[in-house]
């Protein structure tokens, strides 16, 4: 019998070194929404009575678990000191509070770990001593990151309470809700240990034996990329997925390489460099931010030098300009140049799902998983369930795809209907959207807490591949994947586009959508447009439609999603029209203010309106951010308060 420590949790091993049971060796932290009760726990006091689940903090995003700027620049045990310092916008948890408290288990409410796929959110918990996380519901990417790092996500409250009082619990009980492959990974104490055992022949792959059945689009793609007996899969099947293309960025590449060095004692090997990509897109502007510290600059240099070194030594594609700058946001460039229908595309960014607009299966993963793709061109995975969204009708003139996905995010936040599932968009209403607008729907699927989204083939998507990618129609037709008639889905949502209102998501969550009229007149300090969600040529055209011949009243920033978008905007005269309106155009494409790593994010006390995808506390800066469609963002920039383009000719009293 052996013993391993996972934070302040004792992990008991059998004679073969496999996990047998676990026992909490530290304290339990109840992440309540009452700051006073949190401080009481940090002082070493226990709570009596124990808070109920309804009193626990809900929708704690990975931006709150570990701040994007500058905390994500680190990938060592400093992360443990910085855990949750962005909770509630900051000031609730001070650096070191959790690590110094001797906690080994954390209790949270609904929606734990939503947002970014960053694996450092799992590592920050581990380095702070947390080995067990109970949450009423948990984002699927974050949950997998915990399992891959040998930690224990728990969703059964009774089981969580048994662990909290120090009861020793067998692994079989803990992994009841896990798929079969995740159970095996948990048994080895993490993905790297499992993959080592697999490479030694201790673990053999089992072909999926699901009998023939009608399949959804995602299921059909996975059936072609997984080992099966009958060429068929169903939800909860698990195994190894062959990956057509994998990518990482400047936040994640060097840390993933460090994981391999630590676990395997050698430099990373890349099996198929032609299929692997890395992008210097997230931090391209972070070093020029006002007030950036020397420590943060050192962290940025470390991350980017490590990224360049790995690309140089392994031969993977490094998508940088000659000077080392960004050619575009990773998932934007993947969609523009690399992804194809029917493929599996995985990247260390939760917005990898953007490529789902191309009728491929694309979703975000953690650093451990991209390291496995480097080494093996495959990754452990499972077949997700599908929610089919059938679109009919036509949008109102003032509405865009952003309003549709904000409405679905509102539904997802309130019901959990999409959590961990594929959003399959279909129906005649899909043809109402340009390809770039379809990409807005797929891009923000993760804001609905879905694993990803995938589009049924449409003529606008096919034209995009013909005109922008130079493919021939017959070749495209052979790639396309359609759902089988009568394929089973968890839920069918029929959405009449004519019923969609212009929505604005209030600060705190993309699911906080409100009708425009409810926030009309809200004063603003600045506007930011661009990012992977709204830095495409269709969005740039929308901004120009509103701003041409007008001037912005507040500082307004627009950042292109890629070099291709920037050059097309210049060819069409859109760039010049936006400059004439007083817009500050950020010509180097990248993530920028969307992750508080570039100009345009709201600082403390400021209020911004943004066309980006997330407005969780701390995501874009210390201030508040409203999310809206490009027309609303541009119109609001002209008036200096929230409004739509229909209000530009009206005289509206400030409220």
Question: What are the extents of the domains in the chain?
Answer: 26-167, 243-382, 386-499, 504-647
Residues 51-66 have pLDDT tens digits of 999 999 999 999 899 9
Q: Which of 112-121, 240-249, 331-340, 579-588 has the lowest mean pLDDT?
A: 112-121
Least trusted range by pLDDT, from 250-264, 337-351, 367-381: 250-264
Which residue, 218, 244, 222, 233, is CA-closest to 456? 218
Q: Which of 234, 258, 249, 316 is nearest to 283 (CA)?
A: 249
Mean pLDDT over residues 542-551, rounded?
Answer: 97
Q: Rounded to whole angstroms, how far apart are CA atoms 327 and 35?
A: 43
Backbone φ and ψ of 299, nearest 5°: -65, -40
Q: Provide the pLDDT for residue 78.
A: 86
Report the range of poorest mean pLDDT among 106-115, 263-272, 567-576, 630-639. 263-272
**d(C-alpha 561, C-alpha 89), whole Å:** 27
- Cα(437)–Cα(536) distance, integer angstroms: 9
359 closest CA partner among 272, 469, 252, 274: 469
Query: Region 415-426: what's the mean pLDDT?
Result: 96
> Can you tell me the mean pLDDT for 433-447?
96
The pLDDT value recorded for residue 196 is 85
- pLDDT value at residue 293: 83
Averaged pLDDT, 618-628: 92
Q: Which residue has the tokens 């702070």?
A: 128
Peptide bond into 70 cis (omega under 30): yes
Q: How many CB atoms lie within 10 A of CB 68?
A: 28
The percent of residues above 70 in pLDDT, for the chain, comes to: 99
> What value does the mean pLDDT of the chain take?
94
Fold (CATH) for 243-382: Aconitase; domain 3 (3.30.499)
For residue 413, what pLDDT is reported? 94
pLDDT at 70 over 90: no
Question: Is residue 650's pLDDT more than 70?
Answer: no
Assign 635 to helix, strand or coil.
Answer: helix
DSSP 588: S
Q: How far apart are CA 205 and CA 145, in angstroms?
A: 21
Computed over its alpha carbons, how large is the radius of gyration of the chain? 24
Percent of the chain with pLDDT over 90: 83
pLDDT at 652: 41
- DSSP bridge partners of 558: 529, 585
Express each pLDDT in 125-139 by its tens digit.
999 999 999 999 999
**pLDDT at position 651, please?**
41
CA distance 216 to 233: 10
26-167 CATH pick, 3.30.43, 1.10.3470, 3.40.1350, 3.20.19: 3.20.19
The C-alpha torsion from 534 through 539 and 544 to 550, rounded to 10°, is -50
Q: What is the pTM of this model?
A: 0.88
pLDDT score for 118: 83
Q: What is the DSSP letter of 337?
A: I
**Count of CA atoms in the C-beta half-sphere (13 A) of 556:** 27
- pLDDT confidence of 654, banded at 50, 70, 90? very low
What the block records as the tokens of 326 is 């960004």
Would you say the CATH fold of 504-647 matches that of 243-382? yes
* Best CA proximity match to 329, nearest among 307, 337, 211: 337
pLDDT at 69 over 80: no
Q: For residue 310, which phi and psi values (nearest 5 degrees)?
A: -65, -45
Instruction: Count Cβ atoms within 10 A of the Cβ of residue 208 and give its class: 0-12 exposed, 13-18 middle, 19 or more buried.
Output: buried
In what helix (H) or strand (E) does residue 152 lie, and over which residues does it extend?
Answer: strand 152-154
State residue 90's pLDDT score.
87
| Cα–Cα dist 546/651, whole Å | 17
Asked if residue 339 lies in contact with residue 358, where contact means CB atoms within 8 angstroms, the answer is yes
| SS3 (DSSP) at 458 | coil
The pLDDT of residue 625: 96
Is the pLDDT reported for residue 1 higher than 80?
no
CATH homologous superfamily of 504-647: Aconitase, domain 3 (3.30.499.10)
Question: Is it the case that residue 220 has pLDDT exceeding 90?
Answer: yes
What is the second-level CATH architecture of the domain 386-499?
Answer: 3-Layer(aba) Sandwich (3.40)
Cα(470)–Cα(397) distance, integer angstroms: 32
The model's pLDDT over 334-360, given as tens digits with 9 standing for 90+, comes to 999 999 999 999 999 999 999 999 999
pLDDT for 653 equals 39
């Amino acid at each position: 019998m052996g013993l391993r420590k996972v934070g302040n949790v004792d992990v008991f091993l059998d004679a073969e070194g496999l996990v047998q049971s676990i026992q909490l060796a530290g304290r339990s932290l109840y992440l309540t929404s009452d700051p006073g009760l949190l401080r009481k726990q940090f002082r070493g006091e226990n709570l009596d009575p124990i808070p109920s689940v309804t009193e626990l903090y809900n929708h704690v995003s990975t931006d709150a678990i570990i701040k994007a700027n500058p905390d994500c620049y680190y990938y060592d045990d400093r992360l443990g000191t910085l855990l949750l310092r962005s909770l509630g916008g900051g000031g609730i948890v001070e650096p070191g509070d959790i690590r110094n408290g001797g906690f080994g288990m954390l209790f949270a409410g609904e929606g734990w770990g939503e947002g970014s796929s960053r694996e450092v959110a799992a590592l920050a918990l581990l380095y702070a001593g947390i080995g067990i996380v109970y949450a009423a519901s948990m984002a699927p990417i974050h949950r997998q990151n915990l399992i891959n790092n040998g930690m224990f996500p728990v969703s059964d409250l009774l089981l969580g309470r048994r662990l909290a009082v120090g009861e020793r619990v067998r692994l079989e009980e803990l992994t009841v809700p896990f798929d079969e492959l995740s159970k095996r990974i948990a048994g080895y104490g993490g993905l790297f240990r499992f993959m080592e055992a697999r490479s030694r022949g201790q673990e053999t792959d089992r072909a999926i034996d699901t009998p023939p059945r009608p399949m959804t689009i995602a299921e059909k793609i996975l059936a072609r990329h997984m080992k099966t007996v009958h060429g068929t899969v169903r939800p909860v099947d698990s195994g190894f997925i062959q990956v057509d293309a994998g990518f990482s960025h400047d936040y994640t590449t060097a840390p993933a390489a460090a994981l391999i060095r630590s676990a395997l004692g050698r430099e990373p090997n890349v099996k198929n460099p032609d299929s692997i990509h890395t992008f210097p897109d997230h931090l391209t502007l972070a070093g020029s931010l006002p007030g950036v510290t020397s420590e943060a600059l050192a962290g940025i240099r470390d991350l980017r030098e490590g990224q360049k070194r790995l690309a140089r030594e392994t031969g993977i594609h490094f998508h940088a300009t000659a000077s080392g700058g960004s050619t575009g946001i990773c998932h934007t460039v993947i969609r523009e140049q690399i992804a194809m229908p029917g493929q599996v595309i995985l990247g260390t960014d939760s917005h990898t799902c953007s490529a789902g607009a191309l009728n491929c299966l694309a979703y975000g993963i953690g650093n451990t998983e991209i390291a496995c793709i480097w080494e093996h061109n495959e990754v452990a995975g499972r077949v997700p369930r599908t929610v089919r969204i059938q679109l009919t009708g036509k949008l109102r003139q003032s509405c865009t795809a952003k309003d549709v996905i904000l409405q679905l995010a509102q539904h997802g936040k309130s019901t959990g209907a999409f959590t961990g599932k594929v959003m399959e968009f279909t129906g005649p209403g899909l043809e109402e959207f340009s390809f770039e607008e379809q990409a807005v729907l797929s891009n923000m699927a993760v804001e609905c807490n879905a694993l990803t989204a995938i589009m049924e083939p449409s003529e606008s998507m096919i034209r995009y591949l013909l005109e922008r990618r130079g493919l021939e129609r017959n070749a495209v037709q052979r790639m396309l994947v359609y759902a089988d008639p009568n394929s089973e889905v968890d839920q069918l949502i029929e959405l009449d586009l004519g019923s969609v209102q212009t929505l604005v998501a209030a600060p705190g969550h993309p699911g906080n959508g409100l009708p425009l009229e409810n926030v009309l007149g809200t004063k603003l300090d600045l506007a930011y447009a661009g990012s992977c969600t709204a830095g495409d040529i269709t969005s740039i055209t929308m901004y120009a439609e509103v701003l041409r011949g007008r001037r912005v009243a507040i500082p307004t920033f627009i950042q292109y999603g890629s070099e291709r978008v920037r050059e097309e905007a210049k060819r069409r005269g859109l760039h010049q029209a936006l400059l004439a309106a007083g817009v500050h155009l950020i010509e180097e494409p990248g993530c920028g203010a969307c992750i508080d790593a570039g100009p345009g994010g709201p600082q403390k006390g400021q209020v911004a309106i943004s066309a980006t995808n997330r407005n969780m506390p701390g995501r874009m800066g210390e201030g508040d951010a409203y999310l809206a469609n490009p027309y609303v963002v541009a119109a609001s920039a002209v008036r200096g308060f929230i409004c739509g383009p229909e209000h530009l000719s009206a005289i509206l009293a400030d409220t």
